Amino acid sequence: MNINIITLFPEIFKSLEFGLIGQAIDQKKIHINIFNLRKNAINSYGQVDDKPYGGGEGMVLMAEPLERTINSIPNIQKGYVINMSPQGNNFSQSKAQELVKKNNITIIAGRYEGIDQRFINQYVDEEISTGDYILSGGEFAALILIDACSRFIPGVIGNKKSVDLDTFSNGLLKGPVFTRPENFNDSQVPDVLLSGDHERIKQWKENKALKRTFERRPELLNDIKLTKKQKKLLEEWVSKDIL
């Protein structure tokens, strides 16, 4: 996957050098190309922003430096253009999966009050928000998007099964996990996990995932097709008032 980023703060993307994404970059499974907006400033003072027409708070990123920057990206590599914005479509696991299929994406990381609407109208395919809060810049939102997408790029996560079992991938939250020691401050690992009985363990994990989803995010259950067994369990929990 080829990811172009337009930003005023290229250094922030150094954090992509670590962990699984860093390895994927080294192995050329992900290409990150950073385009510094400041290089296309309108004057020798490095100006890329100006006051909003009609007054109001803060500054707005100007359309011209953005246009020059996006036009410096080779067409074949530009792909789908995304503006990170709290006013955009909600980012999600399924959106990450959808974006990875595009192979080439260009992400614009805004600052200040955002970017001139005319640039958005003319160049942006989609605006995406990482959640209902305001960040000081689109860079951190872009990092979230890149991290979540990269997990779906073949070969980035060694064990594909672990992606398939991730929270949200099958519509449910993942249940609790444990590692050594067996006893931690008088708290034992559930017996079933030490039983070696793979079928029982699988069943236990599936039930825990269902229960956790039911307790914490019941609305997610409306979006998946439940098996008869799952429906029965849910009815049982509701009737026994197990919450």
Contacts to ligand SAH by CB under 6 A:
84-87, 109-111, 113-114, 129-131, 133-135, 137-138, 141
67 is catalytic: no
Rounded to 10 degrees, the C-alpha dihedral 235/238/241/243 comes to 120
Catalytic residue among 67, 98, 166, 206: 166
65 is catalytic: no
57 vs 186, which CB is nearer to ligand SAH?
57
Strand partners, 183: 188
As measured in angstroms, the least distance from the Cβ of 150 to ligand SAH is 18
Catalytic residue among 113, 126, 147, 206: 113
Residue pair 7/34 in contact by the 8 Å Cβ criterion: yes
Rounded distance, CA 129 to CA 143, Å? Answer: 12
118 is catalytic: no
90 vs 162, which CB is nearer to ligand SAH?
90
As measured in angstroms, the least distance from the Cβ of 180 to ligand SAH is 39
191 is catalytic: no
- Tell me the three state secondary structure of residue 83: strand
Residue pair 20/150 in contact by the 8 Å Cβ criterion: yes
Rounded distance, CA 102 to CA 91, Å? Answer: 16
As measured in angstroms, the least distance from the Cβ of 84 to ligand SAH is 4
As measured in angstroms, the least distance from the Cβ of 32 to ligand SAH is 18
Q: How many residues does the chain have?
A: 243
Those residues with Cβ within 8 angstroms of residue 25's Cβ, 6 or more apart along the chain or in another chain: 16, 17, 31, 32
- The residues annotated as belonging to the active site are 86, 113, 151, 166
